[in-house]
Amino acid sequence: MALTATPIPCLSDNYAWLLRAADGRLAVCDPAEDAPVAAVIDPMGGKLDLILLTHHHGDHVAGVPGLVARYGAKVVGAAADKHRLPPLDQAVSPGDTVDVLGSKAAVLASDGHTRGHIAFHIADSHILLCGDTLFSLGCGRLLEGTAEQMFASLAALAALPGETLVCCGHEYTESNARFAITVEPDNAALKARIAEAQAQRAAGKPTLPSTIASERAANPFVRAPDIATLAHIRAGKDNFR
Ligand code: ZN
Ligand code: FE
């Protein structure tokens, strides 16, 4: 029984991802705020079963207490980050499988942006919830982890089936695009993705979800052939204006 994933804009550029099962049950990943999420859930029946967390940053977890108080949702997050996440009902580790509204989600290690960052891959629904690890045309800043860890994380995510929907934590695609085109000025897939993202934004729509196939073809961080290259372009992006 497959799930659908819909982005809910939070703060200035975050997305919480609403997961809906065919029977109407709901889950949400990385709620930065409770009010925008509740505003979507209440007209849909006012129930929230589950909250999935990719990492501990406030712009991914600050909505949790309000949503738990309002709906009694169960909270799933990384065992390694238990000490700095909201209280967890289920602490998981890479390699574990989580039941998400009747679908199986594989917990993937995705260190790099933070240590202890995880991603959830729901294979039957072609959904990847990857927080601040993989963005469309970019990747997360290396705030705690190393380029080596980010390289391994991106490689694992890029190895997922091409049709997998990349449901990431931020609407960064256009700013990522401005840097990406300086790394790969002749990449036709990148140019096409930039045009697509510009049209999506001009129409007031999210540029997400992207797909793993699109990121493999157009994202210079995913396409970096080795750790040194990834470290180099990550540093370049950090200093890019
Ligand atoms: Zn973050
Ligand atoms: Fe974030």
DSSP per position, 119-135: EEEEGGGTEEEEETTEE
Q: Please tell me the distance from the alpha carbon of residue 63 to that of residue 153, in angstroms, as a whole number.
A: 26
Q: Please tell me the distance from the alpha carbon of residue 204 to that of residue 103, in angstroms, as a whole number.
A: 31
Could you count the other beta carbons within 10 Å of the beta carbon of residue 88?
Answer: 18
What is the pLDDT averaged over residues 63-70? 98
Distance (Å) from CA 22 to ligand 2 centroid: 29
Q: Are 76 and 101 in contact (CB under 8 A)?
A: no
Distance (Å) from CA 57 to ligand 2 centroid: 6
What is the pLDDT averaged over residues 180-185? 98
Q: Are 64 and 75 in contact (CB under 8 A)?
A: yes
Place of tokens 């909505």: 63
Q: Name the percent of the chain lying above pLDDT 70.
A: 100
Active-site residue numbers? Answer: 55, 57, 59-60, 113, 132, 170
Q: Please tell me the distance from the alpha carbon of residue 202 to that of residue 86, in angstroms, as a whole number.
A: 36
Ligand nearest to the CA of 170: 2
Q: Please tell me the distance from the alpha carbon of residue 79 to that of residue 91, in angstroms, as a whole number.
A: 4
Q: Please tell me the distance from the alpha carbon of residue 220 to that of residue 239, in angstroms, as a whole number.
A: 16
The answer to whether residue 1 scores a pLDDT higher than 80 is no
Q: Compute φ and ψ for 27, nearest 5 degrees.
A: -140, 160
What is the pLDDT averaged over residues 148-161? 98
What is the pLDDT averaged over residues 148-152? 98
Place of tokens 């396409």: 223
Average pLDDT, the chain: 98
At 240 the pLDDT is: 95
Structure tokens belonging to residue 138:
């970019």
At 241 the pLDDT is: 80
Distance (Å) from CA 149 to ligand 2 centroid: 18
Distance (Å) from CA 154 to ligand 1 centroid: 16
